[in-house]
Amino acid sequence: MTQKQIEFYLDFSSPYAYIASGIIDEFAEKHDAAVIWRPFVLGAVFKDEGNKPLLEYPKKGAYAKCDIPRCAQFYKVPYHHPTLFPVSTISGLRAHYGIELEHGADAAKIFAKALYAAYFIHNRNISDKDIVLQIGAEVGYDSKWLDQQLQSAPAKDRLRAITDDAMNRGVFGAPYFFINGEPFWGVDRLPMMAHYLKKGTWSDA
């Protein structure tokens, strides 16, 4: 039997995707599924959709400021709201794919988690390429090598391809998940995802 797959679309500046990142592996294991992490450029997707970042909506933004920390508490994920928010994550995203291309998805996931912790726990400015390289060094990558990797055409191309693919598949926010093509938006959809992983359908819900 093929293992079920959860595709997990995230951006390193999305608090809700960060919260999801803290629980999705355990969730997947519980449901006998694998998780494929797909970092992408959320800003490009917003632009394409005619949507705006959360905090640019006055009421929805105020709600998010109250909701994000309590969600983190609810899901038992450590959270500190970053001083600079939101930030550009291009360097981190390219570094992620630079690592993935050379060392594989598991290695890239370790780096992605380190990047998330740096931003959403330790308040480090991950829009700064030097900080990204430092974080890379902390998980074992030579900074000069990583700097070359994140500027390489294959890393850039891979990020662009994943982002284009996200748009073509209808992704409009983060976290966004696919299970066998079925789309789920938001960390609060885990109960429905659990149902779908178990039953594979809605009609007998």
* Residue ranges in contact with its own copies by CB under 8 A: 48-51, 57-60, 62-63, 66-67, 69-71, 73-74, 76, 167, 170-173, 183, 185-186, 188-189, 191-192, 195, 202-203, 205
| Cα-Cα end-to-end distance for the chain | 23
With contact defined as beta carbons under 8 Å apart, do 124 and 131 qualify?
A: yes
Would you list the DSSP string of 153-193?
Answer: HHHHHHHHHHHHHHHHTT--SSSEEEETTEEEESGGGHHHH
Residues 6+ apart with CB under 8 A from 129: 91, 147, 150
Least separation, in Å, of the C-beta of 201 and its own copies? 9
Taken in order 87, 121, 166, 140, the sign of the CA dihedral is: positive
Q: Name the residue nearer to its own copies (CB basis): 137 or 202.
A: 202
Minimum distance of its own copies from residue 25's CB (angstroms) = 20
Task: Give Cα 23 to chain centroid, integer Å.
Answer: 12
Cβ at position 60, least distance to its own copies in Å: 5
Distance CA 102, CA 121 (A): 28
Nearer to its own copies, 103 or 189 (CB): 189
Q: Indicate the residue among 164 and 188 with the shorter CB distance to its own copies.
A: 188
The nearer residue to its own copies, 92 or 173, going by C-beta atoms, is 173
Smallest separation (angstroms) from its own copies to the CB of 85:
20
Q: How far is the CB of 146 from its own copies (least distance, A)?
A: 33
